Amino acid sequence: MKNEEILEKLRQADMVLVGLGEDFDGIEILGQDEGYLLGCQKLRDAGLHWLLPAWNEFCLKKTGDRSLDRAFEKLADILQGKNHFVVSVSTNSRAGTVGRVVMPCGSTLEKQCAAGCKGTLSKMTDRDKDRLEHFLEELYAGQLIEEASFLEGNCPVCGGSLVLHNVYAENYNEEGYLEQWKLYTKWLQGTLHHSLLVLELGVGMRFPSVIRWPFEKVAFFNQKAFFCRIHEKLYQLTKELSEKGCGISKNAIDWLEEL
């Protein structure tokens, strides 16, 4: 299906459901860069998995590649004025800028108790961001600072250290997205009798129960839905959706840039 046809379906749709996948973390862009991969390994070896999303974003800036930025901007542009909801399993903080979004895997924008205590989520401060930037600069230079408890403050419940609030944290606090998830599920209930475009972008199989399977179900039960899945390798549709959708074998970031 041509891009013009998909854009026309977007214009005609009453509602638009978008799924953003792991491709929007930018791993493909970072590729096989030895410095990036070495940093990932050092973080894993040190038990600092929760820093991986921040490391991804940091290294993306270092590359000077703006293709992801342009893709996010294009998505925000085409969704402007549409009744939409975006579900993102990407932890890239830019995903939160494209409109009405829920990010069940977290991002780099908040911090939580390392032990997972409830009611402890807070925004990253400027001091947190400065400390994080310094740590990542050192890591980029090949040095891992052993003392990585650099986020400001302590857990108000247990007094423990704080970590970035994302799915890579050992005790990920899921309450951070639940309120927005409730809004999403309520919005989803209202799509049943409306013309709906389901747009799945760069979604792999890491969290299939969040986007891939639920999106297929939504498109199957809505008689007025059209399902569009864009992925370089996993673009195939189920037999049930083959007559009411399309699968496009293309990198979703490149596809958005070309719209």
pLDDT higher than threshold 60 for residue 140 = yes
Q: What is the reported pLDDT for 110?
A: 96
Domain ranges of the chain: 3-258
Q: What is the reported pLDDT for 32?
A: 78
Mean pLDDT calculated for residue range 33-42 = 93
Q: What are 86's strand-pairing partners?
A: 18, 101
pLDDT digits (tens, 9 = 90+) for 164-212: 999 999 999 999 999 999 999 999 999 999 999 999 999 999 999 999 9
Which residue in the block uniquely carries the two structure tokens 């007559």? 243
Mean pLDDT calculated for residue range 105-115 = 96
Mean pLDDT calculated for residue range 98-119 = 96
Among 21-35, 138-152, 226-240, the range scoring the smallest mean pLDDT is 138-152
pLDDT higher than threshold 60 for residue 148 = no
Long-range contacts of 58-62 (CB under 8 A, 24+ apart): 58/133, 58/136, 58/140, 59/30, 59/33, 59/35, 59/140, 60/26, 60/29, 60/30, 62/140
Q: What percent of the chain has pLDDT over 90?
A: 92
Mean pLDDT calculated for residue range 66-76 = 96
Mean pLDDT calculated for residue range 65-94 = 96
Mean pLDDT calculated for residue range 96-104 = 96
